[in-house]
Amino acid sequence: MREVTANKTEGRSRVRAWLREPLLQFTVLGGALFLGWPLIQDKVAPPQNKIVISAQQMQRAMDYFYQTHLRQPDPDELQPLIEDEIQTEVEFREGLALGLDRDDEIIRRRIKQKLEFMTEDVLDQAKPSDADLQKYLDDHREEFSAEPQLAFSQIYLDPSRHGGKVADDAGKLLTRLNNGDGRLDYGVDSDTLPVPNDFEATPLNIVAGMFGAEFASSLAQQPVGHWVGPIHSGYGLHLVLVRAVKPGKTPDLADVRDQVLREFQSDRRVEANLASYRRMRAKYVISVELPAADQRKPAGLAQNTTPAAGNPVAP
Residue 84 within any structural domain of the chain: no
- Digit-coded pLDDT (tens) for 12-45: 666 566 656 776 666 767 766 666 656 665 555 4
Residue 220 within any structural domain of the chain: yes
Residue 166 within any structural domain of the chain: yes
Residue 82 within any structural domain of the chain: no
Residue 170 within any structural domain of the chain: yes
Domain region containing 154: 146-246
Domain of residue 185, CATH code: 3.10.50.40
Residue 193 within any structural domain of the chain: yes
Residue 135 within any structural domain of the chain: no
- Digit-coded pLDDT (tens) for 117-135: 777 766 666 788 888 888 8
Q: What is the pLDDT of residue 280?
A: 81
Looking at the structure of the chain, the number of domains it has is 1
Residue 211 within any structural domain of the chain: yes
Residues of the chain whose pLDDT is less than 50? 2, 6, 45, 301-315
Give the contacts of 199 (CB within 8 A, at least 6 positions apart). 150, 151, 152, 153, 154, 207
- Digit-coded pLDDT (tens) for 47-86: 667 888 888 888 988 999 999 888 999 988 988 989 898 8
